[in-house]
Amino acid sequence: MTASDLSTSTTVEGTSERTAAHIETTERYAAHNYHPLPVVLAQGEGAWVVDVDGKRYLDCLAGYSALNFGHSNERLVAVAREQLGRLTLTSRAFFNDKLSGFAEALTRLTGKDMILPMNSGAEAVETAIKVSRKWGYEVKGVPAGQATIITMEGNFHGRTTTIVSFSDDDVATSGYAPFTTGFRSAKYGDIEAIAAAIDETTVGVLFEPIQGEGGVVMPPEGFLTQLRELCTERDVLMIADEIQSGLARSGKTFACDHEGVVPDIYIMGKALGGGIYPVSAIAADHEVMDVITPGSHGSTFGGNPLAAAIGTEVVAMLEEGTFQARSAEIGEQLVAGFGPLVGQGLSDVRVRGAWAGIDIDPSLMTGRQMSEALMARGILAKDTHGSTVRFAPPLVASDEDVAGLVAAVTDILAAARA
């Protein structure tokens, strides 16, 4: 098999034989559901990763925020290793000695009464949808089979059949119909549009406090407060997908904290497993969570001892506050570095904590081309929606690391404009 045989546009030109072999074998035997950059990673520590040829890269994607605490975090690795030698899985047919501590810790972090643990972020979103519908029928009194949930334009909550049913991304939806009903779309950040979409069948409003996949898109100032007030007034659940934006990524424990807002349901994932193991959960108070009864929802791996041990340590690290503070510091550095580039190759910059989206002048280059140029300079990032590139370095990245990212983007844009 040669590079010309590949059915995707991933290229191995200019790569080593070792890298090319890995890419070609992966493309032959693994479905082409991603379009990765032509780099094959083998090791990681802190904010840095190393490829199969020994080249180091600053990881500015951090597993879509799953690696907030960095690669091979010593505390998390130690907890995982210890638990691997004790007990990894029982299923929820039995109690285990780690779930109790995890549940107590995560309710303390969220301020909610109960959690429901799952594995992937998409599972947590599906869980929130199910809980919201059941709450609508059993508590709010919505007629059977009529529950509706308001979703946002430009959303990304996962790729299960139900979730893509309310996506407006053609790539995510094409070829997967028929779709699940019961969802109404409203313009993100438009409180009037959301209010108009709510009726007596509405059980919840599902939203991202920051739309990560959309390019780190933030709603207007005050929107979260307005949404909280609207949901309370109309007896509708406020459902915050904090899978990417939460757990210190935005400079606060949760992105909703920037407006002092507490949703009815938190949806968490990614960094909850420390980049080591898939851990997700929703958190809510008794009025909402008590609709779940034995057999009405579950998961073989949800709440397993290994996941719970890691998740408990993640909560302990977050309760110290140092990662939130570091995220805010990185954000200040990104604003200072990227801000002056608007009009100098960038059309817009959006930063919240250690999370940035830059919109490149499309006449200069695409987001993919910027990502490839950064990779050549030892920095890994990911494009989205054509001319946008997202940056989400691990929160252990140093000032020097962040300065190197800013300098690289600055140099690449200057060369493109020359």
Q: How many domains does one find in the chain?
A: 2
* Given the residues 51, 98, 134, 156, the one annotated as active site: 156
Which candidate, 361, 377, 64, places its Cα nearest to that of 241?
Answer: 64
CB 65 within 8 A of CB 249: yes
- 360: Cβ contacts below 8 Å, ≥ 6 apart: 345, 346, 347, 366, 367, 370, 387, 388, 389, 413
Assess whether 304 and 330 both reside in one domain. Answer: no
| Residue at 306 is within a domain | yes
Q: What is the CATH number of the domain that holds 260?
A: 3.40.640.10
Last residue of a domain, one of 319, 351, 377: 319
For residues 170 and 315, state if they share a domain: yes
Residue 333: which CATH number? 3.90.1150.10
Structure tokens at 248: 């210190």
Q: Considering 69, 112, 166, 241, which one is annotated as catalytic?
A: 241
Same domain, 174 and 250: yes
| Catalytic site includes residue 382 | no
Q: Given this model, what pLDDT does residue 385 score?
A: 87
Same domain, 213 and 104: yes
- For residue 349, give both structure tokens: 């910059």
Q: Provide the whole-model pTM.
A: 0.96
Task: Determine the Cα–Cα distance for residues 210 and 350; give it in Å rounded to an integer.
Answer: 10
Query: Do residues 381 and 210 touch, judged by C-beta distance below 8 A?
Result: no
Domain limit, last residue, from 261, 289, 319:
319
What range does the domain containing 59 cover? 3-26+39-71+322-417
Given 319, 336, 351, the domain boundary residue is 319
> pLDDT value at position 9?
40
The catalytically annotated residue of 270, 338, 383, 401 is: 270
Question: Which pLDDT score, from 0 to 100, does residue 14 have?
Answer: 76
How high is the pLDDT of residue 7?
33
Query: What pLDDT does residue 15 have?
Result: 87
pLDDT digits (tens, 9 = 90+) for 111-148: 999 999 999 999 999 999 999 999 999 999 999 999 99
Give dist(CA 74, CA 157) in Å, integer. Answer: 30
112 is catalytic: no
Q: Which residues of 2-37 are buried (b: 16+ CB within 10 A; e: fewer)?
A: eeeebeeebebeebeeebbebbbeebeeeeeeeeeb
Is the domain of 94 the same as that of 146? yes
As a whole number of angstroms, the distance between CA 2 and CA 364 comes to 31
Strand-pair partners of 267: 241, 282
Residue 80 lies in a domain: no
| Per-residue confidence (pLDDT) for residue 5, from 0 to 100 | 34
Please indicate, yes or no, whether residues 206 and 261 belong to a single structural domain of this protein.
Answer: yes
The DSSP result for 59-125, as a single string, is ESSHHHHTTTT-BT-HHHHHHHHHHHTT-----TTS--TTHHHHHHHHHHHHT-SEEEEESSHHHHH
Is residue 15 a part of any domain in this protein? yes
**What pLDDT score does 6 carry?**
31
| Domain shared by 186 and 105, yes or no | yes
What is the bridge-based pairing of β-strands 237-241 and 280-284?
A: unpaired
Catalytic site includes residue 241? yes
User: How far apart, in whole angstroms, are the C-alpha atoms of residue 416 and residue 410?
Assistant: 10
Location of structure tokens 């960038």? 346
Same domain, 334 and 314: no
Same domain, 282 and 356: no
Q: Residues with Cβ < 8 Å from 304, sequence gap 6 or more?
A: 88, 89, 90, 91, 96
Q: Residue type at 270?
A: K
- Judgement on whether residues 101 and 44 belong to the same structural domain of the protein: no
Q: Are residues 328 and 314 in the same domain?
A: no
Per residue in 177-191, is it b (16+ CB within 10 Å) or e — as a string? eeeeebbbbbebbbb
Q: Tens-digit pLDDT profile for the chain (418 aa)?
A: 233 333 334 556 778 999 999 999 999 999 999 999 999 999 999 999 999 999 999 999 999 999 999 999 999 999 999 999 999 999 999 999 999 999 999 999 999 999 999 999 999 999 999 999 999 999 999 999 999 999 999 999 999 999 999 999 999 999 999 999 999 999 999 999 999 999 999 999 999 999 999 999 999 999 999 999 999 999 999 999 999 999 999 999 999 999 999 999 999 999 999 999 999 999 999 999 999 999 999 999 999 999 999 999 999 999 999 999 999 999 999 999 999 999 999 999 999 999 999 999 999 999 999 999 999 999 999 999 889 999 999 999 999 999 999 999 999 999 999 9
113-134: burial string, b at 16+ Cβ within 10 Å, e else: ebbbbbbbbbbbbbbbbbbbbb
